């Protein structure tokens, strides 16, 4: 039992030093603190996680597996993870070196079991786990901000069952992965600020390091955080050793991860910074309907789209960011400045990326996820900072989150640049299968075409490495076949050997599989652009679906054989013959 010594007459007793964490060192959170809310227990957190994971998985299974609202970016990552385990031979290089690697790494445990991967159940299972974990971390963050369970639960429910969040909690996309680690990083920062315990600062560093491997743009966040930590400590007159030690404790994991990734790129790819210098291409997704999102962008157009995204995904920021700035000015509250900076920086990065690449289509709904999470944590910090106005802050947050339910539902139907969000809303409203149905953003739902081609291949191809294909574009066929050993792709032998066989496939492979869309960026399609029309000698069509074409390869190079009559040369250097009559569209062995 503690005793207060010499309290000031008519005043309040001094706060308990334990509320600041350590008694020694620089205390960042120097506002008087009352009794803190107890953190959620392990059983409570696990129960919350399990309940949400089950709900998210069931919704994701219904939408993704039954109604075929399948985002091909997620399907690509799942296929790469599947090839890590089940290719012949298995190859870790299947993860790739252009896109951030952790999005595929997160799929590895779920792709280990073949039926989970080939049935695509791994997609909603993975995202359900990370989405539920994110809510658990946000629950702990709210508790750290002195919000009791009665007040926390409505906020968590409104966040967790926002239609935008629910869609990504069940579609297998990487957004929930970085949302999880972003929430973890913010929780550690809030905890470090409130307690000055170094373990939280180190945890934040590891969280940001992982974030960088889910999306490279978070490198900018890491740099900003390192600067803000140093500035905050200097303003509090911390010693030089403490400033340096704190910055190093945070930055060391980030620097280590970046150095390791640069080393891997140097040794394996031969380009240490290719993952930074690679630019966005104009190639279309396999399931794209051909919408052009390029063009000359003005500042006003970008500002209009960013405002639209703000209203749709994170309207909470309209109130939270000014409130955080006010908190910083009134209380010299550094954490408030940090959280406001995160939201603003995320918006600037989105707009800058679109402006630099001159592509309005880069301003997608899913790219707003970091601001959705950061604005929520910012609202919790405003609640913590103004003890006398907590009821009002909480009520305003609830009201804005309720409004967000309607803005998200509306924006998912009308915003032009998205990833099947409209198909998700339509599936929920009608209960209909979305296979073949066009959705905003320029995509068509379902994987029927992939299942048809995979079914034909499984019935007619038996030899390993018999089908030359660009796995970056035909990944859907590969995973639905469940037999990656049949395919000779870029992962098997590397790009150099793949291109050699692509130039001279005769006698090496039995078939080539390509995408029909000439704008897909498929290397096989680019090499033999006239194969769609049957105008490449030595390549005979044997199966065709809406998106793919399978061609039988002659055993010898037809250009070296004498022909009875002259025929015009093709662009690929082979003589043209009348088009081969393709077989009827094969029927799948099972529905996808």
Domain for residue 469, yes or no? yes
- The whole-number pLDDT of residue 399 equals 97
Domain for residue 63, yes or no? no
Please tell me whether residue 559 adopts helix, strand or coil conformation. Answer: helix
Domain for residue 15, yes or no? no
Dihedral sign (CA 572, 576, 577, 582): positive
The percent of residues above 70 in pLDDT, for the chain, comes to 85
- The whole-number pLDDT of residue 505 equals 93
C-alpha torsion 26→31→32→34, nearest 10: -100
The total number of structural domains that make up the chain: 1
* H or E element in which residue 512 lies: strand 511-515
- The whole-number pLDDT of residue 213 equals 86
Q: How far is CA 524 from the centre of its chain?
A: 28
**Rounded Cα gap, residues 434 and 446, in angstroms:** 6
**Rounded Cα gap, residues 66 and 53, in angstroms:** 18
- The whole-number pLDDT of residue 590 equals 40
Domain for residue 434, yes or no? no
* H or E element in which residue 473 lies: helix 471-481
C-alpha torsion 556→562→568→574, nearest 10: 20
- The whole-number pLDDT of residue 519 equals 82
Domain for residue 81, yes or no? no
* 165, 372 contact by CB (below 8 A): yes
Query: What is the chain's alpha carbon radius of gyration, rounded to the nearest angstrom?
Result: 27
**DSSP code per residue over 563-591:** -SS--PBPTTSSB--PPP-PPPPPPPSS-
Task: Enter the tokens of residue 151.
Answer: 């007040």
Give helix 334-357 / helix 317-331 axis angle, nearest 10°: 140
Cis bond upstream, residue 89 (ω within 30): yes
C-alpha torsion 381→383→385→386, nearest 10: 160
Q: What is the pLDDT of residues 401-447, one digit of tens each?
A: 999 999 999 999 999 988 899 999 999 999 999 998 888 888 888 99
* SS3 of 513-541: EEECCCCCCCHHHHHCHHHHHCCCCCEEE
pTM reported for the whole predicted model: 0.86
- The whole-number pLDDT of residue 577 equals 37
* 417, 365 contact by CB (below 8 A): yes
Domain for residue 29, yes or no? no
**Rounded Cα gap, residues 80 and 78, in angstroms:** 5
Q: Which domain holds residue 470?
A: 448-560
Residue with the two structure tokens 């991967």: 117
**Rounded Cα gap, residues 225 and 219, in angstroms:** 10
Domain for residue 588, yes or no? no
**Rounded Cα gap, residues 449 and 513, in angstroms:** 13
Across the 592 residues of the chain, what is the mean pLDDT of every consecutive 10-residue run?
42 42 50 67 95 97 95 93 91 79 90 94 96 97 94 97 96 93 94 86 90 87 87 82 87 88 78 65 60 64 91 94 93 88 90 84 89 96 92 96 96 92 95 90 89 96 94 94 93 87 92 90 90 87 94 87 44 38 41 36
Give helix 42-60 / helix 122-144 axis angle, nearest 10°: 140
**Rounded Cα gap, residues 479 and 465, in angstroms:** 15
**Rounded Cα gap, residues 196 and 185, in angstroms:** 15
Cross-strand pairs, 513: 469, 550
Domain for residue 385, yes or no? no
């Amino acid at each position: 039992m503690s005793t207060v010594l010499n309290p000031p007459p008519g005043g309040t007793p001094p706060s308990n030093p334990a509320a600041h964490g350590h008694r020694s060192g620089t205390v960042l959170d120097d506002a008087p603190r009352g009794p803190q809310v107890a953190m959620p227990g392990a059983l409570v957190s696990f129960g919350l996680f399990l309940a949400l994971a089950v709900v998210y998985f069931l919704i994701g299974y219904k939408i993704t597996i039954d109604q075929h609202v399948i985002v091909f970016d997620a399907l690509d990552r799942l296929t790469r993870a599947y090839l890590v385990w089940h290719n012949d031979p298995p190859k870790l290089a299947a993860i790739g070196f252009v896109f951030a690697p952790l999005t595929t790494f997160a799929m590895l445990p779920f792709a280990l079991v073949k039926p989970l991967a080939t049935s695509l159940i791994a997609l909603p299972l993975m995202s359900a786990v990370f989405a539920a974990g994110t809510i658990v971390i946000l629950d702990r963050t709210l508790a750290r901000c002195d919000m009791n369970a009665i007040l926390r639960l409505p906020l968590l429910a409104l966040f967790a069952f926002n239609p935008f969040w629910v869609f990504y909690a069940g579609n297998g996309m990487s957004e929930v992965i970085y949302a999880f680690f972003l929430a973890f990083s913010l929780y550690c920062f809030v905890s470090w600020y409130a307690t000055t315990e170094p373990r939280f600062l180190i945890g934040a560093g590891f969280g940001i390091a992982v974030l960088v491997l889910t999306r490279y743009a978070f490198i900018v966040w890491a740099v900003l955080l390192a600067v803000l930590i140093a500035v905050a400590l200097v303003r509090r007159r911390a010693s030089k050793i403490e400033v340096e030690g704190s910055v190093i404790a945070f930055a060391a994991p980030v620097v280590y991860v970046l150095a390791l990734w640069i080393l891997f790129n140097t040794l394996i790819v031969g380009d240490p910074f290719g993952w930074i210098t690679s630019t966005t291409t104009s190639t279309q997704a396999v399931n794209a309907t051909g919408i052009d999102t390029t063009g000359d962008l003005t500042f006003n157009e970008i500002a209009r789209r960013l405002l639209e995204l703000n209203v749709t995904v994170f309207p909470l920021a309209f109130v939270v960011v000014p409130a955080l700035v006010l908190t910083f000015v009134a209380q010299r509250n550094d954490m408030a400045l940090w959280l406001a900076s995160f939201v603003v920086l995320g918006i600037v990065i989105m707009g800058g990326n679109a402006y630099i690449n001159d592509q309005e289509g880069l301003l997608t709904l899913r790219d707003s996820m970091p601001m959705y999470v950061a604005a929520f944590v910012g609202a919790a910090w405003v609640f913590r900072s103004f003890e006398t106005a907590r009821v009002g802050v909480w009520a305003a947050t609830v009201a804005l989150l309720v409004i967000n339910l309607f803005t998200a539902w509306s924006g998912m139907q009308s915003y032009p640049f998205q990833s099947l969000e409209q198909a998700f809303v339509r599936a929920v409203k009608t209960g209909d299968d979305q296979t073949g149905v066009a959705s905003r953003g320029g995509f068509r739902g379902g994987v029927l075409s992939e299942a048809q081609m995979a079914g034909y291949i499984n019935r007619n191809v038996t030899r390993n490495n018999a089908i030359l294909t660009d796995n970056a574009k035909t990944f859907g066929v590969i995973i639905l076949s469940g037999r990656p050993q049949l395919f000779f792709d870029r992962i098997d032998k590397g790009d150099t050997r793949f291109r050699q066989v692509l130039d001279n496939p005769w006698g090496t492979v039995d078939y080539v599989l390509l995408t029909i869309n000439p704008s897909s960026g498929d290397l096989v399609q680019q090499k033999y652009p006239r194969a769609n029309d049957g105008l490449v000698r030595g390549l005979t069509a044997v199966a065709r679906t809406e998106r793919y074409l399978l061609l039988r390869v002659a055993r010898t190079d037809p250009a070296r054989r004498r022909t009875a009559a002259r025929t015009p040369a093709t662009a690929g250097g082979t003589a043209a013959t009348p088009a081969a009559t393709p077989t009827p569209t094969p029927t799948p062995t099972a529905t996808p």
